[in-house]
């Protein structure tokens, strides 16, 4: 099979994964309107073609918080990545390190932060959720420090789990979920052998380590439901800012007013994100939400964005709309599921190539030259 785009990897992931896992990655909240709008609104952003600008000396490198990155992209936190490919988080970390971009380990990863960090991939970021068990949060922050995590990504848009109907239909949750998952796995022998058998243990590595007991996939939705915290408010978070001395990014900001709160809170960056359309269906796409947020606080902290990015061209569009860095969620997840680290290596190469083409044809030779002037 010839793989030349995210959509090829999506199809390959669908062929390889049991249905409950493909739908877990691919799906969004409710009617999935925001999921679709993320992609459609970004694709509708027109770029200004320029010619004869001599862009032979082109660089895709950038810097955040004094850290160099070879591309203006970061691999986003994706829970349960270790179910998509054998020890998937470790493979993602290797791919990111090889291409010189950061990888963000999720709180809800299969491999623990320590398992990933022991492979010494750099740069390593860690994503933390707001959870009821503040002891867990405190201990995770300490573990992140010990593991040499450079940047803390604090996800704030999950005070409640989004209504993801596909998960109930496919067997990630709902009646007879376990039996349905086993039946689906039997129809995907490649995945069943490589991940289902050789990829064990399938625990939530970070949480098992904290609880001192195994936590399986069946515990995932239950644990999340019991532990996400709708009572959280800005003032409850101050201890985290006090504790974490390194760069801290708030992920899940969609409104300029919240962006101003993020500045007051002392965040070093924020991610304009609707969680890939997995939380509030009907929320603005990030292509629409980003420009007013960049206008409001772009001079005060580093602006990142995600949701709907499927190509290097999309990365250039997001930079033109005001972002300084772009997180890749599903694009990396599909590639990982389809072909492991090699898939993610290739996906990053495809993105880099597409960025180069887009930059050449819009007449810019470096990432910091990309701004609204290249929008048509
Ligand atoms: C996510 N996302 C996510 N975010 C986070 O902060 N912690 C997490 O554990 C997860 N888990 C997760 C699982 C899966 C399967 C997906 C698709 C997404 C959200 C993710 O970091 C990112 O915000 C979105 O994926 C961006 O949208 P796109 O690029 O997938 O459209």
| Global confidence as pTM | 0.97
Pocket test for ligand 1, best of 29, 77, 80 (most atoms within 8 A of CB): 77
pLDDT over 90 (residue 229): no
pLDDT over 90 (residue 263): yes
pLDDT tens readout for residues 89-108: 999 999 999 999 999 999 99
Rounded to the nearest angstrom, the distance between the alpha carbon of 348 and the centre of ligand 1 is 17
- For the residues 329-333, what does the mean pLDDT come to? 98
Rounded to the nearest angstrom, the distance between the alpha carbon of 48 and the centre of ligand 1 is 30
Q: Over the range 218-257, which residues count as b (16 or more CB within 10 Å of their CB) and which as e? A: ebbbebbeeebbeeeeeeebeebeeebeebbbbbbbbebe
Residue 97's pLDDT is: 97
Residue 69's pLDDT is: 98
Question: Which H helix or E strand runs over 68?
Answer: strand 67-69
Q: How distant, in Å, are the alpha carbons of 73, 112, 263 from that of 234?
A: 28, 28, 11
Rounded to the nearest angstrom, the distance between the alpha carbon of 329 and the centre of ligand 1 is 5
Is 166 touching ligand 1 by the criterion CB < 6 Å?
no
Is 307 touching ligand 1 by the criterion CB < 6 Å?
yes
Residue 75's pLDDT is: 98
Phi, psi dihedral angles at 373 (to 5 degrees): -65, -20
- Best CA proximity match to 161, nearest among 27, 316, 270, 254: 27
Residues 6 or more apart whose Cβ sits within 8 Å of residue 69: 61, 62, 63, 100, 101, 102, 123, 325
pLDDT over 80 (residue 223): no
- The lowest-confidence range among 119-123, 205-209, 324-328 is 119-123
Catalytic residue among 161, 169, 202, 275: 275
The bridge status of strand 67-69 relative to strand 62-64 is: antiparallel
Question: Hunting for tokens 């898939």 — which residue is that?
Answer: 343
Verify whether residue 161 is a known catalytic residue.
Answer: no
pLDDT tens readout for residues 334-365: 999 999 999 999 999 999 999 999 999 999 99
Phi, psi dihedral angles at 148 (to 5 degrees): 80, 25
Residue 18's pLDDT is: 97
pLDDT over 90 (residue 218): no
pLDDT over 80 (residue 278): yes
- For the residues 236-259, what does the mean pLDDT come to? 94
Rounded to the nearest angstrom, the distance between the alpha carbon of 53 and the centre of ligand 1 is 37
Is 128 touching ligand 1 by the criterion CB < 6 Å?
no
Residue 232's pLDDT is: 81
Residue 224's pLDDT is: 76
Question: Hunting for tokens 């895709």 — which residue is that?
Answer: 60
pLDDT tens readout for residues 44-63: 999 999 999 988 899 999 99
Averaged confidence pLDDT in the chain: 94
Q: What confidence tier does 177 reach under pLDDT thresholds 50, 70, 90?
A: confident
Residue 2's pLDDT is: 75
Name the closest-CA residue to atom 18, ligand 1. Answer: 78
- For the residues 252-267, what does the mean pLDDT come to? 97
Residues 6 or more apart whose Cβ sits within 8 Å of residue 371: 319, 320, 322
Residue 161's pLDDT is: 86
Is 285 touching ligand 1 by the criterion CB < 6 Å?
no
Extract the tokens encoding 120: 């010494």
Q: How distant, in Å, are the alpha carbons of 89, 106, 170, 287, 306 from that of 142?
A: 20, 15, 37, 35, 27
pLDDT over 90 (residue 153): yes
Is 88 touching ligand 1 by the criterion CB < 6 Å?
no
pLDDT over 90 (residue 178): no
Residue 298's pLDDT is: 98
Residue 345's pLDDT is: 98
Is 78 touching ligand 1 by the criterion CB < 6 Å?
yes
- Best CA proximity match to 161, nearest among 84, 92, 83, 108: 108
Is 108 touching ligand 1 by the criterion CB < 6 Å?
yes
């Amino acid at each position: 099979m010839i793989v030349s785009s995210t959509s090829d990897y999506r199809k390959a992931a669908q062929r390889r994964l049991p249905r409950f896992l493909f739908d877990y990655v691919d799906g969004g909240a409710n009617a999935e309107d925001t999921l679709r709008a993320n992609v459609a609104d970004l694709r509708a952003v027109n770029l200004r073609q320029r010619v004869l600008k001599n862009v032979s000396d082109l660089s895709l490198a950038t810097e955040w918080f004094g850290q160099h990155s070879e591309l203006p992209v970061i691999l986003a936190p994706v829970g349960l990545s270790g179910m998509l490919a054998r020890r998937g988080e470790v493979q993602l970390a290797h791919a990111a390190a090889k291409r010189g971009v950061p990888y963000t380990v999720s709180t809800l990863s299969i491999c623990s932060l320590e398992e990933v960090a022991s492979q010494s991939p750099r740069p390593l970021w860690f994503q933390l959720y707001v959870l009821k068990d503040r002891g867990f949060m405190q201990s995770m922050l300490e573990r992140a420090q010990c593991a040499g995590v450079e940047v803390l990504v604090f996800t704030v848009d999950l005070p409640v789990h989004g209504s993801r109907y596909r998960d109930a239909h496919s067997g990630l949750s709902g009646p007879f979920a376990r039996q349905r998952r086993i039946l689906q796995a039997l129809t995907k022998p490649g995945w069943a052998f490589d991940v289902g058998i050789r990829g064990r243990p399938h625990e939530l590595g970070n949480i098992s380590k904290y609880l001192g007991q195994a936590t399986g996939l069946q515990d995932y939705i239950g644990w999340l439901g019991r532990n996400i915290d709708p009572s959280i408010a800005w003032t409850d978070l101050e201890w985290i800012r006090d504790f974490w001395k390194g760069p801290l990014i708030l992920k899940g900001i969609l409104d300029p007013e919240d962006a101003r709160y993020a500045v007051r809170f002392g965040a070093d960056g924020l991610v304009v994100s609707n969680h890939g359309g997995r939380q509030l269906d009907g929320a603005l796409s990030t292509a629409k939400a980003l420009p007013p947020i960049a206008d409001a606080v772009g001079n005060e902290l580093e602006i990142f964005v995600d949701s709907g990015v499927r190509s290097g061209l999309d990365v250039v569009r997001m930079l033109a709309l005001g972002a300084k860095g772009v997180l890749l969620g599903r694009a990396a997840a599909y590639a990982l599921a389809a072909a492991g680290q090699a898939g993610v290596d290739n996906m990053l190469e495809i993105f880099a190539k597409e960025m180069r083409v887009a930059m050449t044809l819009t007449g810019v030779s470096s990432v910091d030259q990309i701004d609204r002037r290249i929008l048509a």
